[in-house]
């Protein structure tokens, strides 16, 4: 792989991760939000695989395939099942409306760029220069977590933060050890399964995913 | 001697560009209508129908509202004039059009804005309810598209370190590896959304409707008839073609002549016509599958374009 192809492909994959994070703020249908999450997982796997191919690191390529399986297929399928029973579920009334959220996402991206100036100077590689994009994806995930009301979009928000952290890890250290990545992935998978059970319970009791309806305590 | 032949060459290339935009505009509108009709299972009007309609309108009697002022008369002429100037100086066929130094993205944006602003004023001028409503909506959409467009220009000009359009196109031709950088893709995505909004196509405005609740552009020009309407129709078609021409040459500038030689201009002409036709057909196919968004959702779409452009700028900063 030539140097300019590597730079371009890596830049595009990292940018796709950030773009997917922004698209989750833009879309209202929960099904579309979950599909965007799957695309983001695939882009993240692409980042890991491309760095692995460039550094001739077989372990990182395996991690990339694992990420593809876990974050682009299994996790979105698990959350997608919760949504599928209720195809009309939409993020109708977020705490911050869509145009303002999008502008906030733009501001967060600049914040991430300003905040990581000193970090990027420590990692003078092609991948290291893209660290602000990972941090921006993470911040947008936090924003989704804070301003969205439905349980499903909040689960997606957590996963956006997790994907952002994973992206920064790949870019900053050229890949974490296989064992650590395996542990982190299993952790996320377990969390998603628990949250999914909670969301299903919630819908069967309340008839919706709206977290604002959880105002009273019951035995 | 060589400077004289150069001046003649740039003049001829600019004339070719204006001619292809003027004739190609209505034909492009006809092609897009035809594609749409075929996909919807209708036969549709002939491809050259818009040209025939324009000829018919030019032959009709001049008819203006009694209360209308000089703005109503001036607007269609200025609309066409600004597009003609813009078509002459943009690098559609060659990167050496006349007045190359003035072919700046900011100049082009505000040149086209003069035409649309006058048209909005003309909509208000006749004093009817529909005209005012259409103008108000068109100006709202234009005002929301403006910041997205300016940030897009910023993102696009980082590659060439200049907002001069021929310089940007030449820079991409000289460095083919920079064609798919994230900042360019983000910026071009934003530019496409802005072009769709500015030229009043779906999902922002439906050019085929006369339903009072939804129409934007059609409401604005409701008072126009005869030769004035013909000018407005030509101007709008030319504007769409020019914007798409700029877009395709920013996306994939291959084929654009880097000189003003006859063979270069012929190749450039063929390539730009082919590229615009492909994008036009693609847009028409896309329009079959989508509905017009509610007017209150248009800000979301344009805020999306704004964020895309911002992401483009940040990606450019990151890559530095």
Residue B297: the pLDDT is: 83
Calculate what percentage of chain B has a pLDDT beyond 70: 99
User: Is the minimum CB–CB distance between A99 and chain B shorter than 8 Å?
Assistant: yes
- Residues of chain B with C-beta less than 8 angstroms from the C-beta of A129: 318-319
pLDDT at B200 over 60: yes
pLDDT at A40 over 60: yes
Closest residue to B318, CB basis, from A22, A98, A129: A129
Owner of token pair 């977020």: A94
B245-282 residue pLDDT tens: 999 999 888 888 888 788 888 898 999 999 999 999 99
Determine whether the interchain pair A109/B310 forms a contact, defined as Cβ–Cβ distance below 8 Å.
Answer: yes
Helical pair B182-198 and B129-160, crossing angle rounded to 10 deg: 160
Calculate what percentage of chain B has a pLDDT beyond 90: 42
Chain B residue with minimal CA distance to A99?
B300
d(C-alpha B320, C-alpha A174), whole Å: 20
Instruction: Tell whether A179 is covered by a domain.
Output: yes
Query: Regarding predicted confidence, which is higher, B75 or A201?
Result: B75
Query: Regarding predicted confidence, which is higher, B29 or B201?
Result: B29
What backbone phi and psi angles, to 5 degrees, belong to B232?
-60, -45
Instruction: Tell whether A113 is covered by a domain.
Output: yes
The structure tokens listed for B280 are 């036009």
ipTM at complex level: 0.82
d(C-alpha A154, C-alpha B306), whole Å: 25
Residue B199: the pLDDT is: 84
B71-119 residue pLDDT tens: 999 999 999 999 999 999 998 888 888 888 888 888 998 999 999 999 9
Lowest-pLDDT range of B27-36, B79-88, B309-318:
B309-318
Half-sphere CA count of B198, side-chain side, radius 13 A: 27
Owner of token pair 């910026």: B187
Instruction: Tell whether A155 is covered by a domain.
Output: yes
How far is the CA of A155 from the CAs of A97, A152, A158, B145, B314, in angstroms? 19, 5, 5, 33, 27
d(C-alpha B108, C-alpha A15), whole Å: 29
**Euclidean distance between the first and the last CA atom of chain B, given in angstroms as a whole number:** 43
Closest residue to A103, CB basis, from B306, B311, B318: B306
Calculate what percentage of chain A has a pLDDT beyond 90: 19
- Residues of chain B with C-beta less than 8 angstroms from the C-beta of A19: 186, 308, 311
pLDDT at A65 over 70: yes
Residue B291: the pLDDT is: 80
Instruction: Tell whether A106 is covered by a domain.
Output: yes
d(C-alpha B312, C-alpha B193), whole Å: 14
pLDDT at A16 over 60: yes
B46-55 residue pLDDT tens: 999 999 999 9
- Residues of chain A with C-beta less than 8 angstroms from the C-beta of B319: 7, 11, 129
Query: Regarding predicted confidence, which is higher, B207 or B155?
Result: B155
Contact B107, B90 (CB under 8 A): no
| Residue (of B232, B300, B302) closest to B83 by Cα position | B232
User: Is the minimum CB–CB distance between A17 and chain B shorter than 8 Å?
Assistant: no
Lowest-pLDDT range of A57-61, A104-108, A185-189, B165-169:
A185-189
**Euclidean distance between the first and the last CA atom of chain A, given in angstroms as a whole number:** 61
B140-181 residue pLDDT tens: 999 988 889 999 999 888 878 888 888 988 888 888 877 878
User: Is the minimum CB–CB distance between B319 and chain A shorter than 8 Å?
Assistant: yes
pLDDT band at A174 (very low <50, low <70, confident <90, very high): low
Residue B274: the pLDDT is: 94
pLDDT at A217 over 90: no
- Residues of chain A with C-beta less than 8 angstroms from the C-beta of B185: 12, 15
pLDDT at B213 over 80: no
Residue B104 three-state SS: strand
Most confident of A25-34, A169-178, A193-202, B14-23: B14-23
Contact A10, A47 (CB under 8 A): yes
pLDDT at A199 over 50: yes
d(C-alpha A40, C-alpha B241), whole Å: 35
What backbone phi and psi angles, to 5 degrees, belong to A105?
-60, -40
Query: Regarding predicted confidence, which is higher, B115 or B320?
Result: B115
Burial of B277 (C-beta count, 10 Å sphere; 0-12/13-18/19+): middle
In sequence order, the 6+-apart residues with CB closer than 8 A to the CB of B49 are: B30, B33
Instruction: Tell whether A218 is covered by a domain.
Output: no
d(C-alpha B292, C-alpha B137), whole Å: 14
Residue B276: the pLDDT is: 94
Give CA angle at B254 (B253, B256), nearest 5°.
75
Residue B191: the pLDDT is: 93
| Peptide bond connecting B150 to the previous residue in cis, omega within 30 degrees of 0 | no
Instruction: Tell whether A219 is covered by a domain.
Output: no
Residue B235: the pLDDT is: 94
Please state the domain count of chain B. Answer: 1
Residue A87: the pLDDT is: 61
How far is the CA of A28 from the CAs of A31, A154, B295, in angstroms? 9, 13, 17
d(C-alpha B206, C-alpha B200), whole Å: 7
Average pLDDT of span B198-206: 81
Radius of gyration of chain B (CA): 19
Lowest-pLDDT range of A168-172, A180-184, B74-78, B302-306:
A180-184
Residue A175: the pLDDT is: 60
Query: Regarding predicted confidence, which is higher, A18 or A210?
Result: A18
pLDDT at B1 over 50: no
Average pLDDT, whole number, for chain A? Answer: 84
| Residue (of B168, B131, B138) closest to B153 by Cα position | B168
Determine whether the interchain pair A15/B182 forms a contact, defined as Cβ–Cβ distance below 8 Å.
Answer: yes
User: Is the minimum CB–CB distance between A129 and chain B shorter than 8 Å?
Assistant: yes
- Residues of chain B with C-beta less than 8 angstroms from the C-beta of A113: 314, 317-318
Instruction: Write out the residue range of the structural domain in which residue A136 sits.
Output: 3-213
Half-sphere CA count of B159, side-chain side, radius 13 A: 28
Chain A residue with minimal CA distance to B177?
A4
What backbone phi and psi angles, to 5 degrees, belong to B94?
-135, 155
User: Is the minimum CB–CB distance between A47 and chain B shorter than 8 Å?
Assistant: no
């Amino acid at each position: 792989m030539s140097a300019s192809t590597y730079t371009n492909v890596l830049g595009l994959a990292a940018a796709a991760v950030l773009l997917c994070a922004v698209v989750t703020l833009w879309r209202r249908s929960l099904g579309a939000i979950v599909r965007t999450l799957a695309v983001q997982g695939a882009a993240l796997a692409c980042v890991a695989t491309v760095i692995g191919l460039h550094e001739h690191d077989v372990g990182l390529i395996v991690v990339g395939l694992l990420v593809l399986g876990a974050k682009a297929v299994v996790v979105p399928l698990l959350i997608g099942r919760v949504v599928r029973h209720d195809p009309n579920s939409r993020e109708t009334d977020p705490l911050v409306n869509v145009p303002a959220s999008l502008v906030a996402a733009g501001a967060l991206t600049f914040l991430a760029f300003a905040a990581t100036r000193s970090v990027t100077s420590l990692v003078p590689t092609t991948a290291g220069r893209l660290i602000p994009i990972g941090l921006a994806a993470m911040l947008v995930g936090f924003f989704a977590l804070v301003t969205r009301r439905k349980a499903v979009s909040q689960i997606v928000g957590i996963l956006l933060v997790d994907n952002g952290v994973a992206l920064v890890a790949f870019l900053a250290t050229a890949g974490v050890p296989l064992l650590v990545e395996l542990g982190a992935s299993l952790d996320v998978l377990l969390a998603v399964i628990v949250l999914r059970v909670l969301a299903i319970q919630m819908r069967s009791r309340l008839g919706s995913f709206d977290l604002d309806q959880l105002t009273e305590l019951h035995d | 001697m060589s400077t004289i032949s150069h001046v003649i060459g740039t003049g001829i290339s600019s004339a070719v560009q204006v001619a292809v935009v003027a004739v190609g505009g209505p034909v492009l509108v006809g092609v897009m209508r035809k594609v749409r009709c075929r996909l919807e299972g209708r036969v549709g009007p002939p491809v050259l129908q818009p040209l025939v309609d324009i000829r018919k309108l030019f032959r009709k009697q001049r008819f203006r509202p009694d209360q209308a002022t000089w703005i109503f008369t001036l607007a269609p002429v200025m609309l066409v004039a600004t597009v003609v100037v813009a078509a002459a100086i943009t690098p559609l066929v060659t990167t050496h059009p006349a007045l190359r130094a003035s072919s700046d993205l900011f100049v082009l944006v505000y040149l086209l804005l003069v035409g649309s602003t006058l048209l909005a004023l003309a909509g208000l001028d006749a004093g009817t309810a529909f005209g005012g409503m259409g103008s108000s909506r068109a100006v709202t959409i234009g005002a929301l598209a403006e910041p997205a467009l300016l940030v897009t220009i910023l993102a696009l000009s980082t590659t060439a370190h200049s907002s001069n359009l021929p310089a940007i196109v030449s820079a991409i031709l000289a460095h083919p590896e920079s064609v798919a950088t994230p900042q360019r893709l983000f910026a071009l995505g934003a530019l496409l959304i802005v072009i769709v909004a500015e030229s009043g196509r779906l999902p922002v405005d439906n050019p085929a409707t006369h339903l009072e609740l939804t129409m934007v552009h059609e409401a604005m020009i409701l008072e126009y008839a005869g030769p004035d309407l013909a000018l407005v129709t030509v101007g709008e078609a030319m504007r769409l073609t020019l914007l798409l021409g700029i877009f395709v040459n920013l996306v994939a500038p291959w084929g654009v002549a880097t000189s003003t030689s006859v063979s270069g201009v012929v190749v450039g002409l063929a390539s730009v016509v082919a590229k615009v036709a492909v994008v036009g057909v693609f847009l028409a196919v896309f329009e079959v599958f989508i509905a017009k968004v509610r007017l209150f959702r248009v800000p979301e779409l344009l805020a999306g374009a704004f964020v895309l452009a911002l992401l483009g700028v940040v990606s450019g900063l990151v890559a530095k």
